[in-house]
Amino acid sequence: MYRELLEEIGLTKKETELLSESSHWYQYKIPKKHLRKLKKGKPFVIGQKQKWFFAETDGFR
């Protein structure tokens, strides 16, 4: 989570407080007609697995 916060919006671990975390992972698959293919015909990405977090920062209070 902290790596993503830093990459996406520039927040460090010191600037955020983790308030809650989902109790399980959320998964989905991309429909076949929307899959991007590599040159060899294999799918580039077929879906994602996500965990959700609720955090607070002084910068947005």
Cβ pair 17, 56 in contact under 8 A: yes
3-state secondary structure of 18: strand
Tell me the pLDDT tens digit for each residue of 43-54.
677 778 999 999
Backbone Cα Rg of the chain? 16
Question: How far is CA 52 from each of CA 5, 34, 46, rounded to the nearest angstrom?
Answer: 13, 24, 20
Reference 28, options 53, 50, 48; nearest CA is: 48
This prediction's pTM: 0.64
On whether the CB atoms of residues 35 and 45 are closer than 8 A, the answer is: yes
* Structural domains for the chain: 2-60 (3.90.79.10)
Q: What is the pLDDT of residues 12-40, one digit of tens each?
A: 999 999 999 999 999 988 888 877 777 77
